[in-house]
Amino acid sequence: MVVAVDDAPDPTGLYRIRDGAYAADLLITAVSEFDLFTWLAEHGPTTVSAACAALGLAPRPADVLFTLCAAHGLIERDVQNGDVIEVTELGRAHLVAGSPLDLRPYYGSLSERPAALELAHVLRTDEQAAWASAKPATAAGDWSGRLGDVAFAGRITAAMDARGAFLAPRLAAAVSDIPMDRILDVGGSSGIYASALLDAHPEARGTVFERSPVDVAARTLIEDRGYTGRLGVVTGDMFTDALPGDHDVHLFSQVLHDWDKARVEHLLRASFDALRPGGWLLEHDTHIARDKRGPLPVAEYSVLLMHSTPGKCWSVGELSDMAELIGFVDVEHRSTIADRGVLLARKPF
């Protein structure tokens, strides 16, 4: 059994501290490297694409930046009408040149922080920085490349397992009405989320689909937890291998936030192709709201992902649109716990 969490103190604040580790540095960079709010005050209202062109910002990190600014109440953002942005009174009073209450020098005093400099580079180039700001020793030094290292893969798998102990039972509770027979946990790491779903569906069986060498760590943790026989591990690459067939539930937990739009679409399409007709896609993650103005803790986590991976926290609108274009129906978002949620989508019969 996955640990029962109902009586545990709520660790949401602890998730937020860890996940928001890079958010302050992005604001420091926006102010000190780009003088963003002065430019916005001189050119607003404007569009995100115009701001990107004028300030030399790449679209993915800029999207993360403007969501963070909106979540802090520093800009207004209207994604429904051309993604128009405009500096608010708060931003104008404290982060724009010429204001008597200008805090830019205060932020600028931290502009040499290594993470702030890395984020400036990501904003300009869209190239991911090294995981946890560690110096990459080789070309395979980014997050995904380092997963090929057995020791790193073991540490990351332990980290994902620790994060999941509290989250997994809440995910299972949020989708308790979904019928489940064979569950495929894509990029499932230790299988903690699949294990929690199996606890709620005693007749079901599951498969964790993982790359090597994470598959080895996954087998050990699944055995330690007592799920051998009910939860298997298939080794493969989700981008180059077909997903295992004959499953009626596909779980992607905190996987899509590591990848760019082309690869997210690839994974959603691969899921659609492999799912049994009538089966469900469950996409468990931290989701930005449709209006891309928050929630603040998710906007902050998106900065960490933007820094260290080719991904970001996707919005409910972005994911729903991609899923529906591929052919999924009954797309619905449900909140779980600790700023997480699950997007459900069904493959038609």
Ligand X SMILES: C[S@@+](CC[C@H](N)C(=O)[O-])C[C@H]1O[C@@H](n2cnc3c(N)ncnc32)[C@H](O)[C@@H]1O
Residues that bind ligand X (CB under 6 A): 144, 147, 160, 163-164, 187-189, 193, 210-211, 214, 237-239, 253-255, 258
Q: Where are the alpha helices (DSSP H) in the chain?
A: 12-19, 23-32, 36-43, 48-55, 59-71, 89-94, 104-108, 114-125, 143-146, 150-174, 192-200, 214-225, 261-274, 296-308, 316-326
Strand-pair category, 231-235 with 247-253: unpaired
Tell me whether residue 242 or residue 329 sits nearer to ligand X (CB atom).
242
Nearest distance from C-beta of residue 185 to ligand X, angstroms: 7
Tell me whether residue 48 or residue 344 sits nearer to ligand X (CB atom).
344
Tell me whether residue 80 or residue 212 sits nearer to ligand X (CB atom).
212
Tell me whether residue 92 or residue 211 sits nearer to ligand X (CB atom).
211
Tell me whether residue 34 or residue 193 sits nearer to ligand X (CB atom).
193
Separation of alpha carbons 324 and 64, rounded Å = 23
Nearest distance from C-beta of residue 158 to ligand X, angstroms: 11
Q: Which two tokens stand for residue 199?
A: 């606890």
Nearest distance from C-beta of residue 119 to ligand X, angstroms: 20
Nearest distance from C-beta of residue 217 to ligand X, angstroms: 9
Which residue is nearest to ligand X, using beta carbons?
187
Cβ atoms 222, 28 nearer than 8 A: no
Nearest distance from C-beta of residue 228 to ligand X, angstroms: 19
Q: What is the DSSP string of 53-101?
A: HHHT--HHHHHHHHHHHHHTTSEEEETTTT-EEEE-HHHHHHSSTT-TT
